[in-house]
Chains A and B, each alone.
Chain A
Amino acid sequence: MTSRPAGAHREGLKAARLLMVLSSTSPLFILWAIRGNTLIPDRWFIGFCVLMIVVPNAFLWLRIRMARTQADRRELTVGTADDHRDHILVYLFAMLLPFYSEDLGSWRDLGATVAALAFIVFLFWHLNLHYMNLVFAALGYRVFTVYPPTDSNPLTGKSRQALITRRVNLASGDKIVAYRLSDTVYLEAAP
């Protein structure tokens, strides 16, 4: 018996992961909606921003609800775990600060900003950074990267997972039952 090399299969839930990345861009759209735009009338611009806030977050809520109703959960055993609060800083510097300070005064600036945002969204989606979400942080959740134990069992998984949990630390050997938001992102079930 052998274990499949980590990442040898295609990651599922592609659309779900994209919407979760879009959900993580919500704060940017809140800031843009407050700031407004000289090119597009407020009702259209603000309406678009509200849409970009509501739809992805509604989807995220729906995904969590579906995982709960379908009992889509599994047990994760912690080998080692890294607390990635610093990723929120990466998120702020990659997403919020540059785009918020961007001047959207001309159509070309607006087009370039939207294109740059699309690149960032693609990268976050491609690199499985869809757990980066200020809503989780605001609700008191932390994000850990969980690495599997390095035992001699050839079937033990080799992939790391992002675990969203209210715990402040994870110890080696901890067994956590968590809902699957995507193949690599899990939300710990309430004890």
Chain B
Amino acid sequence: MKLEFDLENVTLTEFGVGRDDGGGQTFVVVPVDTDVQSTLREMVQATWEEMQRDGVPGQYEPSEKHGATEYLTLAIADEMASSFRVLHEAVNLDIESSALDDPSDVFCYFVRLTDKKSRRLTAVRRATQFKGVLKKRLIRFVSDSLKLIEDSVFKLDNDFDLLIDSANVHILRPSAFEFAGKLQQAILDAVPHNI
């Protein structure tokens, strides 16, 4: 399957986080520097390469049992993709540089890329590791000795859970798609079809 996006000609990279603070989910853009932008693009590239390794994608079915990592697709017009369609199509998302002040609220992070033809690609990752690292104490080498890192550290993952282009949601980790898309009810509804 083709991606409706040119990964070689990205003109704009915007990073953001999804938060759930009890009053509903909100999505805001967080400014990041060129190094982070470059890393995010590499993550998108790695995600797409991982999907390509899986070959021809299957169709996502809530009633099916999917692997932990399995390339699946779902039409963006599908009702189950509505949460992601809304995120992908939203414009002028609010910007909030202090969004990571309370990272325990962050349930996902995302990047929105724009290519030379003004097409958009949105990539989403569930924030397990991103958040989990905050609870740990990290160490790093300074000169030849290990030191504790005292700053707040946000660890990005190696790839994203799913990519969204203008036609499809490309899913790499179905469980993350179900979690972020709040599809638990759809899965329960689909159980009778599977029996």
Contacts and interface: CB of A to CB of B under 8 A. Distances in A.
Nearest to B27: A155
B114 A75 contact: yes
Contacts of B24: 1-2
Nearest to B23: A2
Interface stretch (A32-40, A57-65, A66-74, A111-119): A66-74
A77 B114 CA distance: 13
Contacts of B89: 153
A32 to B, nearest CB: 35
A156 B11 contact: no
A83 B34 CA distance: 32
Contacts of B92: 76-77, 148-149, 156-157, 159, 161
Interface in A139-158: 148-149, 151, 153-158
B110 to A, nearest CB: 11
Nearest to B33: A70
Contact of A183 (B25, B83, B97): B97
27 contacts: A1-B26, A1-B27, A1-B83, A2-B25, A2-B26, A4-B26, A9-B96, A9-B99, A10-B98, A12-B98, A70-B34, A76-B91, A77-B92, A148-B91, A155-B27, A156-B92, A156-B93, A157-B91, A158-B94, A161-B92, A175-B118, A177-B11, A177-B114, A180-B31, A180-B95, A183-B95, A183-B96
Interface of A: 1-4, 6, 9-10, 12-13, 69-77, 148-149, 151, 153-159, 161, 175, 177, 180, 183
Given A72-B31, A155-B86, 12 more contacts: A1-B24, A9-B28, A10-B98, A71-B13, A72-B33, A74-B14, A74-B95, A149-B91, A155-B90, A156-B90, A156-B93, A159-B94
